[in-house]
Amino acid sequence: MLALGTVCGNEMFADTVQKANKGRIGIQLYSVHNELKNDFEGTLKKLSGFGYSSVELFGFNGEKFYERNMKQLNDLLKDMGMTVSGTHCGSRILPEKTDTPEWDFWKKTSAAIKSCGGKWAVQASLPGSASNLNGLKRIAEHFNRVGEVCKKGGVKFAYHNHRDEFKMVENEVILDYLIKNTDPKLVFFQLDMGHTVNAGGDCMLYLRSYPNRIILWHASDYDKEAKQYTVVGKGSVPYKEMFNMPGLKLELLTVEQETGGDIFASCKENFDYLKQFKWTKV
């Protein structure tokens, strides 16, 4: 692989990374959101140089990402040997009728993701109050409608957890309620491993309990003894056990790093740890 200093867009660089970046390890670009502000193309080139094969966007407005439309972004990533897997996005709870103007966001987002070869629209936070079962019921219904709109638009819908989803509401764990009360054909889940452990959740239990629903992973890590987030493989998330699960249903693996220090060093360390597993190979 070429050195990171190779000029972005150089034909030889593009040919090299397109041959090298054939694994299945992606990265959530929020990990490097500060770096993207300072040097958008240079930051993406570094991630490509580490071997990442896909990127997940964040805060997508339905049209552009960092002032670039999907064609511009897709062309840039293609030259670096990477693709867009999808995006974190979201809306508040919308009207029941999906033909109203409020639903244009999800329709535009689905079309944009599909146009660049992506497959996933991921809601990154709860769209309404989860303080009681009535609130959870409204959220579940909203997710079903979003999933239907996304499916019609040619992509899939998933929900990404933080820590609050492991709280109890009227004897129901929020995350479990949402999994059990949404359509398995329309709504999937992206389990953030570090947040799960930090909240006291059991990653293996969730993967075993909902193998056909939790088919996206956010590869992050949390050290329960040190009580802090860390790089993947150095915390309390049982990655080796998870990757060795019989009949693993994982479809999309995406690193997310939200620690301080040298973020590029952490992103490289995450990739180097994850590439050992058979699943990550093509």
Q: Does a structural domain hold residue 112?
A: yes
CA atoms within 13 A on the CB side of 275: 14
Q: What is the pLDDT of residue 144?
A: 98
> How many domains is the chain built from?
1
82 burial (CB, 10 Å; 0-12 / 13-18 / 19+) is buried
User: Does residue 226 sit within a domain?
Assistant: yes
Cα 250 to Cα 72, 105, 140, distances in angstroms: 29, 28, 23
In a domain, residue 171? The reply is yes
Strands 83-89 and 120-123: parallel
Residue 115 domain-assigned (yes or no):
yes
CA distances from 275 to 48, 67, 208, 243 (A): 14, 32, 23, 11
pLDDT band at 16; cut points 50, 70, 90: low
Task: Dump pLDDT digits (tens) for 184-207.
Answer: 999 999 999 999 999 999 999 999
At 213-238, the pLDDT tens digits run 999 999 999 999 999 999 999 999 99
Print the domain residue range for 268: 11-280
Mean pLDDT for the stretch of residues 34-40: 98
In a domain, 71, yes or no: yes
Looking at the domain assignment, is residue 231 inside a domain? Answer: yes
Residue 207's domain is classified under what CATH number?
A: 3.20.20.150
The Cα–Cα gap between 232 and 213 comes to 23
Average pLDDT over residues 23-27: 96
Give residues with Cβ within 8 angstroms of 31, minimum separation 6. 255, 256, 257, 258, 263, 267
Q: Does residue 203 lie within any of the structural domains? A: yes
Residue 27: predicted pLDDT: 98
